[in-house]
Amino acid sequence: MSDLLKDFSSIEGFGGVGVFTPTGESIIKLEAANSPLKLKELGPVANSIMIQAQKAALETDLGASHFIHLQTEKAHVLVRCLNEGSDLIKTQPGKSHIHLVLILKNDSGIGLAKLKIESHILKLAEAFRT
Amino acid sequence: MNETSAPERPLDGEVALLASIWHRNRLAVRCEDTATAAELVAALIEYVPPYRQLVFCGVVPKTLRFVPDVKIIDLQDLAGLRDSLLGAIAEEGMGGSPLQIVYFGADREVFESLLAFLDRGWVATTALEDIPIDGGAGAGRREIQRSAASIVLLDPVPDNTFLEERIFEDTAHRSASLRKFLIRMKQSEVRLAFDAIQGEIETGNRYHRAFFKETLKLRERTLQKAFEIGLRERRLDLSSYVEDTPPPITRLLKKLTSLEGLLMAVVLDKNTLIGIGRYRDVDLPHKTISLLWDTLSDLTEMLSPKDNCRSLEISTTRYHVLLMRDDYLFGFILDRDVLPTAFKVAFNKIWPER
């Protein structure tokens, strides 16, 4: 699992990557050395944004949300939700439900980051299947 | 008498008559025969909006005395009648029903002592060749021939007759009752829209046309009609209280039609809707965008308090939603198959105004 996370560090401008439970608890994380973008602080907030976005998207009839991408003046924050169950918040038995948070500097390569997220999220999910 | 009587298609004449009555323009039915005049008036009052108070004066034909909800004023004293009608008209601006007056058998004295004092909202039947009413003489006047009679439009036909034309086009070769339904439905819609806009404006908030089009589900032409008819009926120019979409935003919304996969675009200025474009069939309210932004913006500030959030992309099972903050807040609903990054690149190319 940590190898999968390490692979994200090859992205230019890497700030940190972490896997969270849908309730915002950190499961595993990897932070770039000397990065001004602190995953410890940003991760839980990014996770909350994902949860709120999911609720708002359902309330506004947009459908179930599984990915958000925030761009600020200094950073990109990408959150990917993989939920094999049907409950938005709870993790159902035998189903994986994780949130992957990736933080990058503003000038980073987002295309590559998105590709890596999609290719690694399923592998990470296997490890967290209950 | 210097009236123009250019030949015209029957449909053009009906459009002009409907528009003239709806806009409360002044009309004269010129005819020697009172029975024919009564028939023409009966046809014309079909175009009177259902909420208007019909008032018959003069020698009211027996065939029209029992028109539903009509008020018949038998006053022979023209000065008294004038005062009475002017009083009722003054109440229109305070919410009273707008009047639609029909004067049967108007002679020169009636025109000069009564109708000349009423600047709108009347039809007069008369045998006079020379109708002594100022204002519409010459180029503005039109005359529509109807068998043994003619209908003189004393005021210029309104410029905006799109809705009237549309009704007659849509009901060509259809029954009169179908046409009546469409006319009355549209007239009522326009009236209710005006009331709703007035009520909103009285709250003191700032509004753009886009808000009313979206919220009241009106097309631009209907919204425009609501302002025009409101001005004629209530003497209140609400359009001056409603802001137009800024021209750069209008241009942008037009240009966005060229972007593939864009379903809807919403532009907000400090929570005020200033522009909206619906490019494909998507039935999402514009509030979706402001709701998402309101929900998430506080959290994004927690994420980076001194670092403004520029854009937020949310991918769902059905759409991609893209929120971009600039001088305005732009919200885009994209088809699921579109790459949001590709859309952003294309958008940045066509939004050079910033």
pLDDT at B136 over 70: no
Contact predicate B98/B24, CB 8 Å: yes
Domain B247-350 is found in CATH 2.60.120.10: no
The nearest alpha carbon in chain A to B319 belongs to: A62
Say if the Cβ atoms of A70 and B309 lie within 8 Å: yes
pLDDT at A82 over 80: yes
CATH class of B10-158: alpha beta
Average pLDDT over residues B281-309: 74
Average pLDDT over residues B50-68: 94
Which has more confidence, A109 or B252?
B252
Contact predicate B283/B263, CB 8 Å: no
Average pLDDT over residues B63-76: 90
Structure token digits, residue B174: 């259809």
The nearest alpha carbon in chain B to A110 belongs to: B341
Share of chain B above pLDDT 70, in %: 92
Say if the Cβ atoms of A71 and B311 lie within 8 Å: yes
Chain B within 8 Å of A105 (Cβ-Cβ)?
Answer: no
Q: Please tell me the distance in Å from A72's CA to the nearest CA on chain B.
A: 4
From chain B, pick out residues whose CB is under 8 angstroms from the CB of A111: 341
Say if the Cβ atoms of A62 and B300 lie within 8 Å: no
This prediction has a pTM of 0.74
Give residue B216's pLDDT band: very low, low, confident or very high (50, 70, 90). very high
pLDDT at B260 over 60: yes
Give me the pLDDT at residue B7, please: 52
From chain B, pick out residues whose CB is under 8 angstroms from the CB of A67: 313-315
Which of A37, A41, A49 should we substitute to test contact with B (largest number of B Cβ atoms within 10 Å)?
A: A49
Give me the pLDDT at residue B3, please: 43
Average pLDDT over residues B175-204: 95
| Mean model confidence pLDDT for chain B | 88
Region of poorest pLDDT, from A83-87, B64-68, B305-309: B305-309
The nearest alpha carbon in chain A to B310 belongs to: A72
Cβ–Cβ pairs < 8 A, chains A and B:
93
Average pLDDT over residues B227-252: 92
Pairing of strands B149-153, B27-30: antiparallel
Structure token digits, residue A55: 């609720």
Structure token digits, residue B221: 């032409």
Output the CA torsion sign for A87, A89, A93, A94.
positive
Tell me the backbone φ, ψ of residue B271, rounded to 5 degrees.
Answer: 70, 0
Chain B within 8 Å of A111 (Cβ-Cβ)?
Answer: yes
Find residues 14-73 of chain A whose CB sits inside 8 Å of chain B: 42, 45-46, 48-49, 52-53, 55-57, 59-73
pLDDT at A31 over 70: yes
Give me the pLDDT at residue B232, please: 94
CATH number, domain A2-128: 3.30.450.30
Give residue B300's pLDDT band: very low, low, confident or very high (50, 70, 90). confident
DSSP-assigned states of every residue in chain A: -HHHHHHHTTSTTEEEEEEE-TTS-EEEEEE-TT-SS-HHHHHHHHHHHHHHHHHHHHHTT---EEEEEEEESSEEEEEEEEE-SS-SSSPPTT--EEEEEEEEETTS-HHHHHHHHHHHHHHHHHHH--
Structure token digits, residue B32: 């020697």
3-state class of B96 per DSSP? coil
pLDDT at B317 over 50: yes
Give me the pLDDT at residue A1, please: 72
Residue B229 CB neighbour total at 10 angstroms: 21
Output the CA torsion sign for A7, A8, A13, A19.
negative
Structure token digits, residue B38: 């009564």
Q: Please tell me the distance in Å from A76's CA to the nearest CA on chain B.
A: 10
| d(C-alpha B237, C-alpha B230), whole Å | 7
From chain A, pick out residues whose CB is under 8 angstroms from the CB of B311: 69-71
Say if the Cβ atoms of B307 and A75 lie within 8 Å: yes
Share of chain A above pLDDT 90, in %: 15
Structure token digits, residue B162: 């799109």
Give residue B137's pLDDT band: very low, low, confident or very high (50, 70, 90). very low
Regarding an ipTM greater than 0.90, the answer is: no
Burial of B13 per CB tally in 10 Å (0-12, 13-18, 19+): middle
Say if the Cβ atoms of A60 and B291 lie within 8 Å: yes
Give me the pLDDT at residue B307, please: 64
Give me the pLDDT at residue B354, please: 52
Say if the Cβ atoms of A65 and B308 lie within 8 Å: no
The nearest alpha carbon in chain B to A109 belongs to: B341
From chain A, pick out residues whose CB is under 8 angstroms from the CB of B302: 45
Average pLDDT over residues B228-242: 93
Average pLDDT over residues B238-260: 90
Region of poorest pLDDT, from B57-61, B97-101, B221-225, B267-271: B267-271
Contact predicate B50/B144, CB 8 Å: no
pLDDT at B319 over 60: yes
What are the boundaries of each domain within chain B?
Answer: 10-158, 185-241, 247-350
